[in-house]
Amino acid sequence: MDSLAAELNRVTPVGCHFTVRGGNDPRLEDATITSDLMSALGKGATVIYIGHSLGADSALRFAQAARNFKLALVCPVDPVSWDSNAQQAVPGRWEVGSNVARLIGYRTNTFPGGGSGGSHSPPCSTIEPVRTSRLDDQRSLMLLR
pLDDT (tens digit, 9 = 90+) per residue, 124-141?
A: 333 433 323 333 344 444
pLDDT of residue 67: 93
pLDDT in tens, 51-96: 888 888 899 999 999 999 999 999 988 888 788 887 877 787 888 8
- The CA angle 23-105-15, to the nearest 5 degrees, is 65
Name the residue range of residue 74's domain: 2-144
Give the count of domains, the chain: 1
| Rounded Cα–Cα distance for residues 38 and 47 (Å) | 9
Query: What percent of the chain has a predicted confidence (pLDDT) above 70?
Result: 74
